[in-house]
């Protein structure tokens, strides 16, 4: 029962967040703004009003953005985009070498070499992307 209330409450909160905010505080007069906020222009809010607003609205701070785990970021960069094609090629070369072992007495090492080349290129590509992300994040 609590989870259904929480889901409906979070859906309502999400819908409220999606609505466009209409702010006119920069347009109206200061007297109208103080009247709307129930505040005194000379002394501000009373301690009781400030505590009530803190309880009602929460602290005046930005919520931090959602962050992804370092493992998820690592896996996305290691196995995403072009790297996945390189890894597939590497494992196909390894599979072909495994088949050649059963067929020949002394199988050629072409596929093993290709496997290592694909793996190294994929790792270097990952390292280059990681370094570029680090540099660009520092610049911003």
Say what the pLDDT of residue 75 is.
78
- 7-44: pLDDT as tens digits: 556 777 777 766 766 788 889 998 898 888 888 888 88
Mind spelling out the 3-state secondary structure of 13-46?
A: HHHHHHCCCCCCCCCCCHHHHHHHHCCECCCECC
Q: How far apart are alpha carbons 77 and 59 in whole angstroms?
A: 37
For all residues of the chain together, what is the average pLDDT? 79
Listed by start position, the domains of the chain span 2-57, 70-139
This model's pTM is above 0.85: no
CB-based contacts of 25, cutoff 8 Å, min separation 6: 33
């Amino acid at each position: 029962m609590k989870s259904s209330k929480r889901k409906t409450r979070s859906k309502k909160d999400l819908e409220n967040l999606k609505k466009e905010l209409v702010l006119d505080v920069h347009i109206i007069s200061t007297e109208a703004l103080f009247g709307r906020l129930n505040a005194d222009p000379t002394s501000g809010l009373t301690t009781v009003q400030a505590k009530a607003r803190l309880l009602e609205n929460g602290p005046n701070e930005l919520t931090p953005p959602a962050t992804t785990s370092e493992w998820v970021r690592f896996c996305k960069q290691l196995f995403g985009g072009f790297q996945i094609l390189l890894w597939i090629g590497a494992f196909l070369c390894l599979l072909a070498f495994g088949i050649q072992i059963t067929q020949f007495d002394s199988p050629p090492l072409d596929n093993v070499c290709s496997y290592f080349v694909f793996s190294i290129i994929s790792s270097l590509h990952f390292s280059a992307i990681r370094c570029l992300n680090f540099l660009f994040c520092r610049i911003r």
